[in-house]
Amino acid sequence: MLVRVGSRGSRLALTQAERALAALRAPGIELAVLPITTAGDRDRSLPFGEIGSRGVFVKELEEALLERRIDVAVHSAKDLTATDPEGLSIGAFLRREDPRDALCGADGIRPGMRIGTASVRRKAELLALEPSLEIEPLRGNVDTRLRKRGERGLDAIVLAACGLDRLGLGAEIGYRFSVDELLPEAGQGALALQVRTGEEHLVAAADDAETRERVEAERIVIAVVGGGCLAPVAAHHDGETLMGMVAAEDGSWLERRSGPDARALGEELAAIASSRGG
């Protein structure tokens, strides 16, 4: 049986697709990777919020699934929308790797640094840590952003540690933020295998139950808050504690809460955001 696996075409995405293939290989299964370009790949200059809502790196893959051009879509779980489109479901989450954010170019945060990131969530959390930072927008794939750091004379950039590790670029990391410093994006560090509803059997053997439990709780928090690329929100489950965060983009206020119930935690964070005018 031929299983067509869709992936974005960047070096990192194809590396992640290879991890998915390794997890899906089985007797009688033939696997083929089909690279697909997303809106986030086509436009690497505009801020995410001007391209569209959260999901700018997944929509075209989801459309390819619904149109039966592919059978499995490989996503970075942090890129997913908070809820699955009708007709699609996450059939498997691969075992989560390092969920933390990484600082490249410096071994820590110092006052007045110029730091590049396209994430409003990272911007808010960085400014809450150190208000004197200058946060500059920075788009592009991992290699491009590492190159632009030098070209633009930035002191550092912030990327997902897992992506650098997967590309063998862990040596570029000067500092890995603790989750107490920068709470990660929901799903960060995990790969999600999306399929058409009813075809979960195609990927079920690759599912890591612990990762699924944690990431699904994080996604519920974000769904209840109503967060997207323009909303500095985050959720992370470390295996013991489910944590959530809402903030102002300029870091002028940031609120963190924790609790065992994802929906209740999301409602608490939504109320905070509302009271702050968010």
Q: The pTM is what?
A: 0.91
The number of domains in the chain is 1
Residue 170 lies in a domain: yes
Cα–Cα distance measured from residue 83 to residue 132, given in angstroms and rounded to the nearest whole number: 36
Report if residue 163 sits inside a domain.
Answer: yes
In a domain, 14, yes or no: no
The token pair that represents 89 in the structure block: 């479901």
Q: Which structure tokens are listed for 272? A: 């905070």
Structure tokens at 90: 């996450």
Of 41, 43, 71, 79, which one is the catalytic site residue? 79
Among 211, 212, 232, CA closest to 222: 232
Domain that holds residue 132: 101-176
212/66 Cα distance (integer angstroms):
23
Of the candidates 97, 123, 103, 99, the residue with the CA atom closest to the CA atom of residue 176: 103
Instruction: Indicate if 155 belongs to the active site.
Output: no
Q: Which of 236, 216, 237, 245 is nearest to 121 (CA)?
A: 245
Confirm whether 203 is domain-assigned.
no
Q: Note down pLDDT in tens along the chain; length 278 residues.
A: 999 999 999 999 999 999 999 999 999 999 999 999 877 666 555 554 443 455 778 999 999 999 999 999 999 999 998 889 999 999 999 999 999 999 999 999 999 999 999 999 999 999 999 999 999 999 899 999 999 999 999 999 999 999 999 999 999 999 999 999 999 999 999 999 999 999 999 999 999 999 999 999 999 999 999 854 456 999 999 999 999 999 999 999 999 999 999 999 999 999 999 998 76
The domain that holds 150 is classified in CATH as 3.40.190.10
Domain membership of residue 54 (yes or no) is: no
